[in-house]
Amino acid sequence: MSLSATPLGVEVGKDVGTAERRERERVALQKKIIDKGREILVNEGLAALTMRRLADEIEYTPGALYAHFADKDALVRAICQTDYVAFTRHFQSAQAAADPPARLRALAKLYARFALEHPEQYKTLFVMDAVPNLKEGLPEHDKPEEDAYSALERAVADAIRQGYFPAFAGRSHLVAQSLWAAMHGVVSIEIRGHEGMQIPFEDIALRVETICEVMLAGLNAVATAKSPEPAAPSPRARHVRGVSSEVNAHATHERSPAHEQPSGRARKGKAQRKLGAARHGRGAR
């Protein structure tokens, strides 16, 4: 009796189809968890985000959430990592610009567009201050294709090499961080909302373009960049250093010859030598 290949192939195809369906369902549920978690995190804060609350919101059991994320911190890390990857991919189209200033302008506009089109993701990455340590899982620096900050710093470094921002030679990180801070301020005001404020705000696109041109022109106009000053020691560091100096001084004082005290055995030996010398002297007379 021989085995037919057809039924086996059918069963294999069925198993593969089932596995693919389960994987799609797993990915879809994970995305649903992350999206709803981000919504609670941004709108209500870290304390409001609990695994039980989130399970109720998406109508799943808490156990289903724990099958995807070990705990709340793991969930928040996943939210931030997902958003950071999306943020970095958003910058890739700017890398084609060969002219560094043109690349910086493109990066600035893409940065603003991401913030305005995805305000919840932007807030998770750059506004909230209650997220856990995110070092695990984030891309390493010096990889512009994976890290948005590296893309910005690389564009600045290329500009400096081509003669732009002459006062900031060797200071590409300072320039990159200054440009980032300026753009963050513009988009943060817009995301926060300014309805009801007695200020006639100009169109956001015009504000983004203006701050970009002002920063680039200003950086080119700077004659001499200020050198970094050494960081002052903290009060605790000064205290520890002072105590250490006192201890060292005391130890040196104790070890100095003028303050060395002979041991009991040494004093006894010295007295015996003196007595022997005295007896010898009397015998000689």
CA angle 168, 172, 175 (to 5 degrees): 75
Q: What is the pLDDT of residue 245?
A: 52
Judged by average pLDDT, the poorest of 79-88, 89-98, 242-251 is 242-251
Given a contact cutoff of 8 angstroms between Cβ atoms, the answer to whether 79 and 37 are in contact is yes
Tell me if 203 is assigned to some domain.
yes
Q: Report the mean per-residue pLDDT for the chain.
A: 78
b/e map 50-66, b = 16+ CB within 10 Å? ebeebbeeeebeeeebe
State residue 6's pLDDT score. 46
Do the domain assignments include residue 107? yes
Task: Provide the pLDDT for residue 269.
Answer: 58
Residues of the chain above pLDDT 90, percent: 40
Report pTM.
0.66
Higher pLDDT, 222 or 274: 222
d(CA 178, CA 172): 10
Residue 214 belongs to a domain: yes
What is the structure's pLDDT at 224?
A: 82
Could you tell me the pLDDT band of residue 94, with boundaries at 50, 70 and 90? Answer: confident
| Residue 224: partners with Cβ closer than 8 Å, 6 or more residues away | 167
pLDDT(251) > 60: no
In a domain, 204, yes or no: yes
The rounded Cα 228 to chain-centroid distance in angstroms is: 21
Range from 84-88, 248-252, 257-261 that averages highest in pLDDT: 84-88
Within a domain: residue 76? no
**Residue 285 — pLDDT band, cuts 50, 70, 90?**
very low
pLDDT at 146 over 90: no
More confident position, 152 or 7: 152
**∠ CA 219-225-229, rounded to 5°:** 135
Among 49-63, 197-211, 233-247, the range scoring the smallest mean pLDDT is 233-247
* Structural domain count of the chain: 1
Task: Give the least confident one: 51-55, 127-131, 213-217, 218-222.
Answer: 127-131
Structural domain span for residue 147 = 94-227
Q: What average pLDDT score do residues 2-31 get? A: 70
Q: Give which of 77, 78, 39 is closest to 57, Cα–Cα.
A: 39
- Taking residues 31-60, report their average pLDDT: 91
pLDDT at 14: 59
Confidence band of 41 (pLDDT split at 50, 70, 90): confident
| 8-12, 98-102, 120-124, 188-192: segment of lowest average pLDDT | 8-12
Half-sphere exposure of 154 (CA within 13 A, CB side): 20
Q: Is residue 161 part of a domain?
A: yes
- Inform me whether the pLDDT recorded for 93 exceeds 80: no
- How far is it, in rounded angstroms, from Cα 210 to Cα 200? 16
Residue 200 lies in a domain: yes
Is 219 inside a domain boundary? yes
- What CATH number does residue 180 fall under? 1.10.357.10
